[in-house]
Amino acid sequence: MKKIGYVSSVNPFSDRKAWSGLIYKIREAIELAGYEVVWIPYNLMYKNNTWQYKLNDRYWNLRHKIFHKDILGEVHSAFNARRYAQSINLEKVEECDYLFFPGGAQISLFLETSIPVIYLADATIHKMLNYYWFNIDKAAFRIAKSLEEKASQKSFINIRASQWANDSVINDCKCDKSRCFVLEFGANIDSKDITSNNTWESGRLNVLFSGVDWERKGGDIAVKTVDFLRTKGLDAHLLIVGIKELPSRYKSIDYIDHWGFLNKNNSEEYEKYIQAYKQSHIFLLPTKAECAGVVFSEAAGFGLPCYTFATGGTTNYVISDYNGFAFPMGCTPEAFANRIYNDIIQGKIQHYHVNALALFKDKLSWDAWATRFKRIMESEV
């Protein structure tokens, strides 16, 4: 059995929260594909007190004070990537057949090993600037961009969670197309807990919104969309999970249910999260920026038609007129409501339900991820 060294600062065998649960789930999927996984940890605090670290820290803090720009740290800094590499046990590395980086492959540039690297991420630095990240120091960005390109080019295999990100690896990082692959993320829910919902036929229409960043995830648009649906005669209700504190202007609205932030590491809150999907009929996330979106995979598993914006990597998860609809950026809440209403009247959501389940089985489950990962590895090795 081939051995894959899983390079991560957190334990992929126990931490179910890191990177929205992906660190844990990806490790599971690699094992499901038939590989032995060993954790190769690196220490984020390694040599923090050396004079070199302090000097580097003061330099970037000074730039921040002078130019009022944000600094990119962690693996996007050559100094930090090298420091993390120095904290890795090379003897443990040499026991592996491959090194797998769920992000952070910049560290591999400073590892003295010839073991092939598999680099998985949901975006590139090139795509993050002025999309997720704003007001970034130009010097810090140049360093980060160079590290991203070199790490991608060095990698034996590049895996990204969407075509949007994969295209950037090929075009921006100038990587060999034959070594670049798209594998969509699966759900951050155990397979045994994912069951198909019944589609809506009449009565109350439960619309689910899930996200931790109200502004970026389009919370206001979601509320207004449901409001428009109600003016059309539908008994639409919005269930909101993920947001710790609902904006005060929405707290007294009787068709909004706010369940707050639900920690999946807590068994009771995890079960409540499952119930949110089970009792919903439609998933609505008018997100303004999204690299992938695990929640779309979760929604597909329950057969929920999805409505979102076509931005970043969303169109790998929400295929217009197949399992929902991805709107052009700038569309209004009324446009969302009109589309959803028409899909209901025309019976399209029943088709979206069936298609969502098929999409989950073929692409958006971890079983599918494992099958496709194994196929990539066997074809490339």
Rounded CA-CA distance 16/13 in Å is: 8
Q: How confident is the model at residue 380 (pLDDT cuts 50, 70, 90)?
A: low
Same domain flag for 167 and 247: no
Same domain flag for 173 and 309: no
The whole-model pTM stands at 0.94
Sheet containing 324-327, strands listed edge to edge, beginning at the edge strand earlier in sequence: 256-260, 235-241, 204-210, 282-285, 306-309, 324-327
Same domain flag for 203 and 341: yes
CATH code for the domain in which residue 142 is found: 3.40.50.2000
Mean of all residue pLDDT scores within the chain: 94
How confident is the model over 203-254, as pLDDT tens digits?
A: 999 999 999 999 999 999 999 999 999 999 999 999 999 999 999 999 999 9
Same domain flag for 8 and 154: yes
> 115 versus 47: which is more confidently predicted?
115
Same domain flag for 328 and 373: no
Same domain flag for 195 and 125: no
Same domain flag for 281 and 150: no
Q: What does the DSSP assignment read for 296-343?
A: HHHHHHTT--EEEE--TTGGGT--BTTTEEEEPTT--HHHHHHHHHHH
Same domain flag for 249 and 287: yes
- Please say if the pLDDT value at position 286 is more than 80: yes
Q: Mean pLDDT across the stretch 190-198?
A: 87
- Please say if the pLDDT value at position 184 is more than 80: yes
Same domain flag for 168 and 62: yes
- Please say if the pLDDT value at position 75 is more than 80: yes
Local structure of residue 225 (DSSP, 8 states): H
Residue-number span of the structural domain to which 226 is assigned: 191-364
Give me the number of domains the chain comprises: 2
- 369-375 long-range contacts, CB within 8 A, separation 24+: 369/26, 369/29, 369/183, 369/184, 369/185, 369/186, 370/29, 370/30, 370/32, 370/33, 371/33, 372/183, 373/29, 373/30, 373/33, 373/159, 373/183, 374/33, 374/34
The reported pLDDT for the residue numbered 48 is 67
Query: Residue 40 forms beta bridges with which residues?
Result: 7
- Please say if the pLDDT value at position 63 is more than 90: no
Rounded CA-CA distance 16/36 in Å is: 19
Same domain flag for 323 and 371: no
- Asked whether 184 and 297 are in contact (CB, 8 A), the reply is yes
For the purposes of burial, counting CB atoms within 10 Å of the CB of 322, is it exposed (0-12), middle (13-18) or buried (19 or more)? middle
Same domain flag for 242 and 161: no
The reported pLDDT for the residue numbered 67 is 80
Tokens of residue 267, six digits: 């068994």
Return the biggest CA–CA distance within the chain: 68
Handedness of CA 193, 199, 201, 206 (dihedral sign): positive
- Please say if the pLDDT value at position 309 is more than 50: yes
Same domain flag for 63 and 143: yes
Q: How far is CA 85 from its chain centroid?
A: 25
